[in-house]
């Protein structure tokens, strides 16, 4: 059940269905307990993240589960087998610059995971008001996603890069980036 939930978690997030997994994920985390089975640490984390995507009805339980997820992630040597753990954890936990070193370690040398990490760092910089750092990281991420053929990643990088092009007065460049992003979203 952990393996299936882990594999479906990315699909559910991309399709906007992640809320539907909350009751089953909560039940599964409760059944497994506080310690993931050996070799299924990433799957446990993804299931826990599904459980944390709910309504926030029990803040104390959610805080405890957040702490367990952090502990499990800290125990991993990396690289991750399921690097989308990094994205889903950042969505659930929010920006956490103090966890960047761990994310770098867990991403390893996988090109897609590296692009994903660069995108996350770029978005962190964007929301922290550091446009230069954001644009650099998002440009690296875009190159990485292009190299791996990930249309979702490309589209998610192109939108903020278009915003930066527009801010520099490059409206034609901004429109070209947005047009490319729309192509990827429609595919």
Please report the pLDDT score of residue 39 as a whole number.
Answer: 95
| Residue for token pair 């959610």 | 62
Q: How far apart are CA 131 and CA 121, in angstroms?
A: 12
Put simply, whether the predicted model's pTM sits higher than 0.75 gets the answer yes
Print burial letters for 109-144: b (CB count within 10 Å at least 16), e (below 16).
ebebbbbbbbbbbbbbbbeeeeeeebbebbebbbeb
**pLDDT above 90 (res 171):** yes
Query: Domains in the chain, please, with CATH?
Result: 1-94 (no CATH), 109-187 (1.25.40)
Closest CA to 107 of 125, 90, 92, 95: 90
Query: Is pLDDT of 178 > 90?
Result: yes
Q: What pLDDT does 20 receive?
A: 76
pLDDT of residue 48: 93
The tens digit of pLDDT for each residue in 47-85 reads: 999 888 777 778 888 899 999 999 999 999 879 999 888
Over 70: is that where the pLDDT of 95 sits? no
Mean of all residue pLDDT scores within the chain: 90
Inform me whether the pLDDT recorded for 161 exceeds 90: yes
Backbone phi, psi, residue 16, to 5°: 75, 20
Residue reference for tokens 């990485």:
144
Q: How confident is the model at residue 104 (pLDDT cuts 50, 70, 90)?
A: confident
From CA 91, how far away is CA 94, in angstroms rounded? Answer: 5
Q: What is the pLDDT of residues 14-34, one digit of tens each?
A: 777 777 788 889 999 999 999
Q: What is the CA radius of gyration of the chain?
A: 17
Task: Report CA-CA distances (Å) from 145 to 102, 118, 136, 170.
Answer: 21, 10, 14, 23
């Amino acid at each position: 059940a952990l393996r299936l939930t882990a594999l479906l978690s990315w699909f559910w997030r991309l399709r906007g269905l992640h809320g539907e997994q909350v009751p089953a994920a909560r039940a599964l985390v409760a059944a497994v307990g506080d310690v993931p089975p050996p070799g299924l640490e990433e799957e446990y984390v993804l299931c826990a993240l599904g459980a944390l995507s709910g309504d926030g009805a029990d803040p104390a339980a959610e805080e405890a589960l957040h702490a367990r997820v952090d502990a499990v992630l800290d125990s991993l040597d990396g690289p991750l087998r399921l690097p989308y753990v990094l994205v889903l954890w950042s969505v659930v936990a929010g920006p956490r610059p103090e966890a960047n070193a761990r994310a770098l370690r867990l991403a390893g040398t996988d090109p897609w995971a590296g692009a994903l990490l660069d995108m996350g760092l770029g978005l962190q910089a964007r929301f922290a008001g550091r446009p230069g750092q954001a644009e650099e990281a998002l440009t690296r991420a875009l190159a990485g996603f292009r190299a791996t053929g990930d249309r979702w990643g490309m589209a998610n990088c192109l939108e903020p890069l278009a915003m930066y092009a527009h801010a520099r007065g490059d409206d034609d460049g901004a429109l070209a980036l947005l047009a490319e992003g729309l192509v990827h979203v429609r595919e």
